[in-house]
């Protein structure tokens, strides 16, 4: 039983991190109606930014996470202005293909740029809170507890902004109908930039938070990027609550599945397949995902 | 006039093409091209590949400073194989097309497996530096040689230590690659077939994992429930660091009752301490030498030159890469030619005093992996006793060292 609860807690912490990253991707899809294939690389950018802020400038670790989010937000806004804005100004005819090629290419460029700039050596930012906490039979790494708390706070903050503020309502309006939003005075281009910046900023925050736990390297974003796609399809494309629920589910399935499903000596080898299996099962029953809309595409 | 100009341009182009062709490059008096292969980007172990390239560049510069090979300048063309077999095969073909007379390197066994096929077909002498799978030399290809030990050669000695140290409940986490699977196979066979020092039967449990998985906690928690006395970490690169770190976080190892043996070359790199920190204390790892066994002048000279040039201490992989280039160069010198068959004949006869010892290649065909294998490498196990300790200063625990 002790092993079971240890796996549940571990799955919850990992699920919260997945949720932080995937909610950014869901936000981008919700407003811009495009899948950001460079999402994992923005996650990596946040981790490197936080690492260098903490180690070179001596910024306290938690503050370095917030500054890294801000940095990635600004990069995201610039990337949107330069590369993605043409999608919404009538300059591009084949929008879906353009968006896929542009974000995919950007991801490859960012990863190779990181390799050239920072080298292949694995790096570790300073711990948020060194040591472990013992809760009954469970031993928990303090960093993971801090990260789980931060991820929860950031997600609650995101839900509050989206649901309770004028900006959040404006984002929702653009997400539902760009033209109608424009008629009531909301600038859809500005909302696009904001959504993209916020979305990649959340990915950057997740990368910065995960750095001390899973370490920092140029390729660190590949797997979380793929998992984010699985999560947002699972939760329903464009739904932030769906992405959060999907992420928590995936965290549990991976953690418990590695030990209790299949052959336990091979469980960890199948870990990455659990998400796809879960996705297939959910889509068979509910093709739009847990909270998805029926028809969502770029107009 | 225009026709003459056209003929002139064509003639110049023809001359340029001949000069740039492999034949032109390797012609009498032209530079000798040596190839290098290894991972410089992910998903390969890029940190080890980068170090191997540094060592090869150092070796080539030293060769040129000493007058080159056969009186000709030596050039190195290093290809990034990314830890992917298809990239390795393509790299070998590119090197053959560029006119390389021999190739050294590689870190990943799965990639080397693809590379030896090309080496064999293209008649390209290939000295494998740091890929360990038995199957590489067991293929018994005439153009393939290896400095890194075969897994069976090295890990039977590691199993000797595990038995001699009296461990009886061993758990292992291995990467699902040719290297990881081979190490697991050898340890399982060796440990379950013979008792430990106290005559007790050893229980061996192992789990295969993908190298790219960042969270090993579920499996480590399960191991913890089994109360093992030794955890063997057979995962290279970042995964190897993460297992050391996460095993400490869940209270599995290193503790008073459970040791951690991490076999990746990356555990010898300075990044180990940056990533693992205090979790790395008392980690046991392997290497091919230790100053207590006698530091040869060649090791000291290489370490000094490497540290001066790159500001970091070279690992086992760097030494093997350096030796692989030097031994290829020595074979070309000994053959007096860049003909591949002459180089192979020279490699079969060579006795070269390298950084890791006197390198020669066995021609015995039984066991199969011994063919063209350097059998002289030593299996040394060290244990870090201080945070940030250099491998040279770590405590040597195997073979047992008795002061005279």
CB of B386 closer than 8 Å to CB of B373? no
Closest-CA distance of chain A to residue B82, Å:
11
Q: Chain B partners of A3 at a C-beta cutoff of 8 Å?
A: 221-222, 225
Do residues A6 and B221 make contact, with C-beta atoms less than 8 angstroms apart?
yes
What is the ipTM for the molecules in this complex? 0.82
For residue range A157-197, list pLDDT tens digits in order.
999 999 999 999 999 999 989 899 999 999 999 999 999 99
CA dihedral for B332, B338, B343, B346, sign (positive or negative): negative
Cβ contact (<8 Å) for B46 and A264? no
Q: Would you state the pLDDT for residue A182?
A: 92
Give the confidence band of B4 by pLDDT, cuts at 50, 70, 90.
Answer: low
Q: What is the mean pLDDT of residues B32-47?
A: 91
Q: Write out pLDDT tens, residues B298-357.
A: 888 999 999 999 998 898 899 999 999 999 999 999 999 999 999 999 999 999 999 988
**A259: closest CA of chain B, how far (Å):** 7
The pLDDT-based confidence of B254 (bands split at 50, 70, 90) is very high
Instruction: pLDDT band for B43, please (50, 70, 90 cuts).
Output: confident
- Residue pair B37/B88 in contact by the 8 Å Cβ criterion: yes
Tell me what pLDDT residue B13 has: 55
Domains and CATH numbers, chain B: 20-149+298-370 (3.40.50.2300), 152-290+380-398 (3.40.50.2300)
Residue-averaged pLDDT of chain B: 90
Nearest residue on chain B to A210, alpha-carbon basis? B214
DSSP strand pairing (B169-175 vs B395-398) = unpaired
Cα of B220 to nearest chain A Cα, Å: 10
Chain A residues whose CB is inside 8 A of the B241 CB are 122, 215
CA angle A49, A53, A59 (to 5 degrees): 145
CB contact under 8 A, B42 and A217: yes
Contact A121 B42 (CB under 8 A): no
Where is B175: in which H helix or E strand? strand B169-175
Residue B145 confidence (pLDDT): 98
Residue in A122, A213, A261 to test binding to B, most B beta-carbons within 10 Å: A122
**Cα A165 from Cα A175, distance rounded (Å):** 15
- Other CB atoms within a 10 A radius of the CB of residue A186 amount to 18
CA-closest candidate to residue B299, choices B284, B325, B269, B320 = B320
* CA distance from start to end of chain B: 87
pLDDT score recorded for residue A264:
67
Query: Can you tell me the mean pLDDT for B14-43?
Result: 70
Nearest to B172 by CA among B89, B90, B235, B128: B235
What is the C-alpha to C-alpha distance for residues B178 and B150, in angstroms, rounded to an integer? Answer: 12
Residue A131 C-alpha from the chain's centroid: 27
Q: Is the pLDDT of residue A4 over 90?
A: no
Kindly determine whether residue B249 and residue A254, on different chains, have CB atoms separated by under 8 Å.
no
Average pLDDT, chain A: 90
What's the pLDDT band for B130 if we cut at 50, 70, 90? very high
A8 bridge partner residues? none
CB contact under 8 A, B213 and A132: no
Q: Which of B217, B249, B277 sits opposite A132 (nearest CB)?
A: B249
- Contact between chains at A214 and B242 (C-beta distance less than 8 A): yes
What pLDDT, on the 0 to 100 scale, is given for residue B404? 42
How many CB pairs (< 8 A) connect A and B?
116
Mean local confidence (pLDDT), B19-46: 75
Q: What is the mean pLDDT of residues A120-141?
A: 87
Residues on A contacting B at a C-beta cutoff of 8 Å: 2-3, 6-7, 10, 14, 112, 115, 119-124, 127, 132, 139, 141, 144, 214-215, 217-220, 222-223, 254-256, 258-259, 264-269, 271-272
Q: What pLDDT shows up at residue B18?
A: 46
**What was the pLDDT predicted at A207?**
96
pLDDT attached to residue B19: 47
pLDDT exceeds 80 at position B44: yes
- Closest by alpha carbon to A41, among A56, A24, A55? A24
B42 contacts A218? CB cut-off 8 A: yes
The answer to whether B218 contacts A258, with C-beta atoms less than 8 Å apart, is yes
Q: What is the dihedral of CA B216, B220, B221, B225, to 10 degrees?
A: 160
CB–CB of B156/B286 below 8 Å?
no
State both tokens at A67: 């500054």
Quick check: B47 and A122 CB within 8 A? yes
The answer to whether the Cβ–Cβ distance between B218 and A267 falls below 8 Å is yes
Q: Is A299 exposed, middle or buried (0-12, 13-18, 19+ CB in 10 A)?
A: exposed
pLDDT at residue B17 above 90?
no
Note the pLDDT of residue A298.
52
* Band of residue B42 on the pLDDT scale cut at 50, 70, 90: confident
Give the residue extent of every domain in chain A: 2-122+140-285
Q: Do A10 and B218 touch (CB under 8 A)?
A: yes
pLDDT at B20: 47
Set of chain B residues whose Cβ sits within 8 Å of the Cβ of A14: 215
Of A2, A120, A266, nearest to B208 by CB-CB distance is A266
Question: DSSP state, B373?
Answer: B
Asked if residues B281 and B384 have their Cβ atoms less than 8 Å apart, the reply is yes
Q: Which pLDDT score, from 0 to 100, does residue B292 have?
A: 83
Give the DSSP letter of residue B170: E
Q: Which of B387, B167, B357 has its CA nearest to residue B282?
A: B387
pLDDT tens figures, A205-245 = 999 999 999 999 998 999 899 999 999 989 888 889 999 99
Q: Which tens digits make up the pLDDT trace of B355-382?
A: 988 999 999 999 999 999 999 888 899 9
Given a contact cutoff of 8 angstroms between Cβ atoms, the answer to whether A146 and A211 are in contact is: no
Least confident of A227-241, B63-77, B173-187, B244-258: A227-241
Tell me the residues of B at the A interface, defined by beta carbons under 8 Å apart.
40-43, 46-47, 49-50, 173, 176, 205-210, 212-219, 221-222, 225, 237-238, 241-242, 249-251, 266, 269, 271, 274-275, 277
Residue with the bigger pLDDT between B400 and B132: it is B132
Nearest residue on chain A to B273, alpha-carbon basis: A124
Non-local CB neighbours of A175 within 8 Å, separated by 6+ positions: A30, A31, A238
* pLDDT for res A257: 84
Closest CA of chain A from B2, distance in Å: 45
Helices (H), chain A: 2-32, 39-56, 61-79, 95-118, 142-164, 166-176, 178-183, 188-214, 222-235, 240-260, 271-285
Interface mutation target, options A1, A40, A121, A209, chain B, most CBs of B under 10 Å = A121
Dihedral angle, C-alpha A179, A182, A186, A192, nearest 10 °: 50
State mean pLDDT over A10-14: 90
Residues 6+ apart with CB under 8 A from A162: A27, A168, A171, A172, A240
Residue B3's pLDDT band (boundaries 50, 70, 90)? Answer: low
Q: Write the residue in B214, B250, B275 that is nearest to A223 by C-beta.
A: B214
Cis peptide bond N-terminal to B367, omega within 30: yes
CB atoms within 10 A of CB A140: 18
Q: pLDDT digits over B73-127, tens only?
A: 999 999 999 999 999 999 999 999 999 999 999 999 999 999 999 999 999 999 9
**A2-122+140-285 maps to CATH 1.10.3470:** yes
- pLDDT tens-place string over residues B191-247: 999 999 999 999 999 999 887 788 898 889 889 989 999 999 999 888 999 999 999
**Least confident interval from A9-23, A248-262, B41-55, B76-90:** A248-262
Of A10, A124, A218, the CB nearest to B217: A10
Contacts of B277 in chain A (CB under 8 A): 124, 127
Rg of chain A's alpha carbons, rounded to an integer? 19
């Amino acid at each position: 039983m002790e092993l079971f609860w240890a796996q549940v807690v571990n799955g919850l912490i990992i699920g919260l991190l997945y949720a932080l990253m995937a909610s950014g991707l869901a936000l981008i899809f919700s407003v811009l109606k495009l899948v950001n294939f460079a999402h994992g690389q923005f996650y990596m950018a946040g981790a490197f930014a936080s690492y260098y802020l903490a180690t070179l400038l001596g910024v306290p670790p938690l503050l370095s996470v917030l500054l890294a989010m801000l940095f990635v937000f600004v990069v995201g806004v610039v990337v949107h202005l330069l590369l993605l804005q043409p999608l919404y100004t009538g300059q591009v005819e084949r929008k879906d293909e353009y968006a896929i090629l542009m974000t995919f290419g950007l991801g490859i460029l960012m990863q190779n740029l990181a390799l050239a700039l920072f080298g292949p050596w694995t790096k570790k930012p300073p711990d948020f809170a060194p040591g472990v906490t013992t809760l009954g039979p469970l031993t928990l790494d303090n960093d993971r507890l801090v990260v789980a708390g931060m991820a929860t706070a950031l997600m609650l903050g995101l839900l509050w902004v989206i649901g309770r503020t004028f900006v959040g309502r404006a984002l929702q309006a653009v997400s539902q109908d760009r033209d109608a939003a424009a008629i009531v005075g909301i600038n859809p281009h500005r909302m696009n930039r904001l959504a993209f910046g916020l979305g990649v900023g959340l990915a950057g925050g997740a990368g910065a938070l995960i750095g001390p736990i899973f370490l920092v390297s140029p390729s660190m974003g590949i797997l979380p990027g793929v998992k984010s796609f699985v999560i947002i399809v699972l939760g329903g494309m464009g739904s932030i609550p769906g992405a959060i629920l999907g992420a928590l589910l995936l965290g549990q399935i991976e953690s418990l599945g590695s030990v209790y499903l299949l052959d336990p000596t091979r469980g960890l080898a199948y870990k990455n397949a659990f998400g796809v299996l879960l996705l297939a099962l959910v889509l068979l029953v509910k093709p739009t995902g847990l909270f998805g809309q029926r028809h969502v595409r770029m107009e | 006039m225009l026709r003459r100009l056209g003929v002139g341009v064509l003639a110049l182009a023809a001359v340029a093409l001949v000069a740039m062709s492999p034949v032109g490059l390797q012609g009498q008096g032209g530079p000798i091209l040596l190839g290098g292969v290894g991972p410089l980007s992910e998903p390969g172990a890029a940190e080890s590949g980068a170090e191997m390239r540094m060592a090869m560049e150092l070796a080539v510069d030293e060769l040129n400073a000493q007058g080159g090979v056969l009186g000709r300048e030596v050039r190195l063309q290093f290809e990034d194989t990314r830890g992917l077999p298809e990239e390795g095969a393509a790299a070998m073909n590119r090197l053959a097309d560029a006119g390389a007379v021999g190739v050294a390197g590689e870190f990943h066994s799965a990639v080397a497996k693809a590379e030896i096929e090309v080496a064999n077909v293209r008649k390209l002498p290939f000295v494998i530096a740091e890929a360990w799978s038995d199957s590489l030399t067991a293929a018994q290809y005439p153009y393939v040689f290896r400095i890194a030990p075969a897994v069976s050669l090295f890990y039977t000695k590691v199993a000797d230590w595990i038995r001699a140290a009296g461990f009886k409940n061993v758990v292992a986490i291995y990467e699902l690659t040719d290297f990881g699977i081979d190490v697991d196979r050898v340890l399982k066979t060796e440990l379950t077939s013979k008792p430990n020092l106290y005559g007790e039967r050893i229980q061996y449990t192992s789990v295969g994992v993908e190298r790219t998985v960042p969270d090993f906690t579920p499996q480590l928690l399960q191991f913890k429930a089994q109360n093992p006395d030794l955890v063997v970490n057979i995962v290279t690169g970042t995964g190897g660091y993460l297992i050391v770190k996460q095993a400490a976080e869940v209270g599995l190892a290193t503790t008073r009752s459970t040791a951690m043996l991490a076999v990746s070359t990356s555990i010898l790199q300075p990044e180990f301490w940056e990533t693992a920190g205090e979790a790395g204390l008392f980690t046991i790892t392997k290497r091919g030498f230790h100053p207590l066994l006698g530091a040869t002048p060649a090791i000291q000279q290489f370490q000094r030159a490497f540290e001066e040039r790159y500001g970091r201490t070279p690992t086992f992989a760097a030494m093997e890469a350096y030796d692989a280039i030097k031994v290829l160069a020595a074979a070309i010198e000994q053959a007096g030619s860049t003909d591949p068959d002459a180089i192979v004949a020279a490699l079969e006869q060579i006795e070269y005093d390298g950084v890791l010892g006197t390198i020669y290649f066995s021609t015995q065909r039984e066991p199969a992996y011994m063919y063209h294998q350097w059998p002289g490498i030593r299996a040394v196990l060290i244990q870090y006793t201080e945070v940030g300790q250099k491998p040279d200063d770590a405590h040597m625990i195997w073979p047992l060292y008795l002061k005279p």
